[in-house]
Amino acid sequence: MNVMSNDPYTTADGRRIGGVLMEMKNITLRFGGVVAIKDISFDIREGEIRAIIGPNGAGKSSMLNVMSGFYTPTEGEVWFEGCPRPQMRPYQVARQGIARTFQNIALFQGMSTLDNIMTGRITRMNSNLLNQALWWGKAEAEETVHREAVEKIIDFLEIQHIRKTPVGRLPYGLQKRVELGRALAAEPRILLLDEPMAGMNVEEKEDMCRFILDVNDEFGTTIALIEHDMGVVMDLSDRVVVMDYGKKIGDGTPDEVRSNPEVIDAYLGVSHD
Ligand SMILES: Nc1ncnc2c1ncn2[C@@H]1O[C@H](COP(=O)(O)OP(=O)(O)OP(=O)(O)O)[C@@H](O)[C@H]1O
């Protein structure tokens, strides 16, 4: 099996990886004189867990922001489902089926777990504002459907006991789980995770790893995550892109990346702090 070819394949643990879903083509991103990303290309295949790793300042967040539509690349194109993506606002990208979490928790602190996750359904809501405000026919039926979807996610993430709790009162690890739930509520084609394990203790990291794997397995969600802790993603990912100083220095399976001399040098051997 050659995971770098475009043929669908089945992983050792029985998950099916399909064709290319998203492709970054020769992406360059400049902020004035700073080149955050230099001519990087890689793809993400349907059903896979794809990691982007690199030391601090490597350009990972910039790349995630290009993928989520928050930044428009200075050069290059983002392709989604075989077509170049026109310049879009982030909410339009979200409607296309791309959801994300944030490095710093971005939940509504005073709202309950349930209500926070419900906000993840916004891109899937159809009834107009008047109907929603007056709770008329279509809006009521829609609310029931959304509520069922949210309850399923709450069960799946094992957070029934905190469904009514304002998220500001929850420990960090649980807040991150609620944020994952909100992103999942959009039923994304691709889920972008921004350093999902950052700031967590060992137990919280293990939980988050398990949920990421379960999301991918149960819902077949394609996942792309950025992380600077290399160890964390190696057991999780099907393929890994390694960035350093805005350039791509490695791309392949965790084993390939681990044994890539440039990666060992840049990432493991030398501190860039
Ligand atoms: N909005 C911005 N304006 C100017 N320069 C920026 C901006 N965002 C990022 N940069 C610069 O681009 C480079 C890459 O930064 P980026 O945050 O993407 O790296 P990173 O790999 O995510 O780092 P970290 O792991 O520390 O979050 C850095 O030199 C950074 O200072």
For residue 266, being part of any structural domain is answered with yes
Using CB atoms within 10 Å of the CB of residue 248, give its burial: 0 to 12 exposed, 13 to 18 middle, 19+ buried: buried
Residues 79 and 199 in one domain: yes
For residue 51, the enclosing domain spans: 1-97+188-273
Which of 151, 186, 221 is the endpoint of a domain? 186
Work out how many domains the chain is built from and give that number.
2
Break the chain down into helix, strand, coil percent, rounded to 5: 40, 25, 35
Residues 2 and 79 in one domain: yes
Residue 125 Cα to ligand 1 midpoint, Å, equals 34
Residues 204 and 75 in one domain: yes
DSSP for 186-238? T--SEEEEESTTTT--HHHHHHHHHHHHHHHHHH--EEEEEES-HHHHHTT-S
The answer on pLDDT for 91 being more than 80 is no
Q: 138 or 242: which carries more pLDDT confidence?
A: 242
- Of the pLDDT bands very low, low, confident and very high (cuts 50, 70, 90), residue 144 is confident
Which of 186, 218, 238 is the endpoint of a domain? 186
For residue 227, being part of any structural domain is answered with yes
The residue assigned the tokens 């059903």 is 47
Residues 219 and 240 in one domain: yes
Residue 231 Cα to ligand 1 midpoint, Å, equals 22
Q: How far apart are CA 258 and CA 198, in angstroms?
A: 21
Residue 113 Cα to ligand 1 midpoint, Å, equals 31
For residue 104, being part of any structural domain is answered with no
Q: What percent of the chain has pLDDT over 70?
A: 88
The answer on pLDDT for 3 being more than 70 is no
Eight-class DSSP state of 134: H
Residues 192 and 180 in one domain: no
Residues 147 and 211 in one domain: no
Determine the average pLDDT of the residues in 166-191. 93
For residue 86, being part of any structural domain is answered with yes
- Of the pLDDT bands very low, low, confident and very high (cuts 50, 70, 90), residue 6 is confident
Atom from ligand 1 closest to the CA of residue 29 = 12
Q: How far apart are CA 245 and CA 54, in angstroms?
A: 9
Torsion angle in degrees (nearest 10) through CA of 200, 202, 206, 208: 0
Residues 202 and 81 in one domain: yes
- Of the pLDDT bands very low, low, confident and very high (cuts 50, 70, 90), residue 53 is very high
Torsion angle in degrees (nearest 10) through CA of 85, 228, 242, 25: 10
Residues 226 and 267 in one domain: yes
Residue 62 Cα to ligand 1 midpoint, Å, equals 6
Q: 237 or 143: which carries more pLDDT confidence?
A: 237
Q: Which among 27, 29, 34, 225 is the best mutation to test ligand 1's pocket, defined by most ligand atoms within 8 Å of the CB?
A: 34
Return the pLDDT at 273. Answer: 46
For residue 105, being part of any structural domain is answered with no
Return the pLDDT at 5. Answer: 63
Atom from ligand 1 closest to the CA of residue 63 = 18
Residues 71 and 206 in one domain: yes
- Of the pLDDT bands very low, low, confident and very high (cuts 50, 70, 90), residue 86 is confident
Residue 117 Cα to ligand 1 midpoint, Å, equals 29
Residue 127 Cα to ligand 1 midpoint, Å, equals 39
Residues 73 and 35 in one domain: yes
Q: Which among 28, 35, 60 is the best mutation to test ligand 1's pocket, defined by most ligand atoms within 8 Å of the CB?
A: 60
Q: What CATH code is carried by the domain that includes residue 89?
A: 3.40.50.300
For residue 103, being part of any structural domain is answered with no
- Residue nearest ligand 1's atom 6 by CA: 31
The answer on pLDDT for 2 being more than 70 is no
- Of the pLDDT bands very low, low, confident and very high (cuts 50, 70, 90), residue 1 is very low
Determine the average pLDDT of the residues in 92-101. 85
For residue 158, being part of any structural domain is answered with yes
Which of 126, 152, 186 is the endpoint of a domain? 186
Ligand 1-lining residues (CB < 6 angstroms): 31, 34, 36, 54, 56-62, 228
- Residue nearest ligand 1's atom 5 by CA: 31
For 11-50, what is each residue's pLDDT tens digit? 888 889 999 999 999 999 999 999 999 999 999 999 999 9
Residues 35 and 118 in one domain: no
ipTM: 0.95
- Of the pLDDT bands very low, low, confident and very high (cuts 50, 70, 90), residue 257 is very high
Atom from ligand 1 closest to the CA of residue 32 = 4
For residue 121, being part of any structural domain is answered with yes
Provide CB contacts within 8 A for 93, sequence distance 6+: 68, 69, 85
Atom from ligand 1 closest to the CA of residue 31 = 4
Residues 125 and 231 in one domain: no
